[in-house]
Amino acid sequence: MMKTIAICLALSGAAGAEEPEICKNNDLFRAVQIIDSSCNAQGCSETALKELEKIDKPTLMSALRDPHLEPVHIFFPAGKELLGDAYDWPRREGYLKTLAYADPKAVAYVLGQASPKGKQPRNTELSRHRAEVVAIFLERVLHIPCWRIQKGWFGSTVLQLDRVDANQMNIDAAEYSKTGNRHKNLEILNQGVHVFIYPCPSRFRMLASQKWGTP
């Protein structure tokens, strides 16, 4: 099963504006660089994404709870890929609507990840579909002003989450504990959509101009 992760990366801001402390987190920045270089319109290189496993996981998970990233977490039942099927969707939709005020010179990253259950081809397909419906919702329904929306997806060998990771990310257990079975609840934890805004224009301005041109 899958999870989809969406990250909105601010590429520029007001001149001289002071950036939040999270922008100094090199582990978080390295993770974003890996994701960016590993995925394109054709898909993602899982081999390249495995570089994420070399980053200190507790540091990275803890960084993702920073309020400046405005995290939103959405979880899906097994085998489901439509937003209306997501657990607590009306509430999650409300959280996502706050992204309608995102920086117009931002890049939205929508990434999917598979849990170990099921066959890899189906997992990858489902992960891709979840990434696509999230990207469509951000672009066509919310009309977020981000300069670019980047989709990506990868398999079950990268950044599998457990309860400790969820705690470090400040994800309440009630958000993914939807059954009486602890194992199935962990599967749900890895069948989610995670949305973050990266508010660090100084760290992406040069990279963006080299890869896509200045926004």
Listing from the earlier edge strand, what are the strands of the sheet with 106-114? 72-75, 192-198, 2-10, 106-114, 148-154
Which pTM was predicted? Answer: 0.84
Residue 160 has pLDDT above 80, yes or no: yes
What's the pLDDT tens digit per position in 167-184? 999 999 999 999 989 999
CA distance 118 to 115: 8
Residue 210 has pLDDT above 60, yes or no: no
The domains of the chain, with CATH numbers, are 2-211 (3.30.1330.60)
Strand partners, 198: 9
Identify which has the larger pLDDT, 27 or 139: 27
Report which of 154, 174, 148, 179 is spatially closest to residue 163, judged by C-alpha positions. Answer: 174
Contacts of 170 (CB under 8 A, 6+ apart): 65, 71
Look at the block and give the residue holding tokens 């920045």: 29
DSSP secondary-structure letter at 80? -
* pLDDT at 168 (0 to 100): 97
Identify which has the larger pLDDT, 6 or 107: 107
User: Residue 207's pLDDT band (boundaries 50, 70, 90)?
Assistant: low
Best mean pLDDT range from 12-26, 41-55, 134-148? 41-55
Mean pLDDT of 188-201: 83
Identify which has the larger pLDDT, 137 or 112: 137
Residue 6 has pLDDT above 90, yes or no: no
User: Residue 13's pLDDT band (boundaries 50, 70, 90)?
Assistant: very low
How far, in Å, are 14, 104, 133, 138, 194 from residue 107 at the CA level? 16, 9, 17, 11, 15
Task: Provide the percentage of residues in the chain whose pLDDT is more than 90.
Answer: 33
* pLDDT at 131 (0 to 100): 81
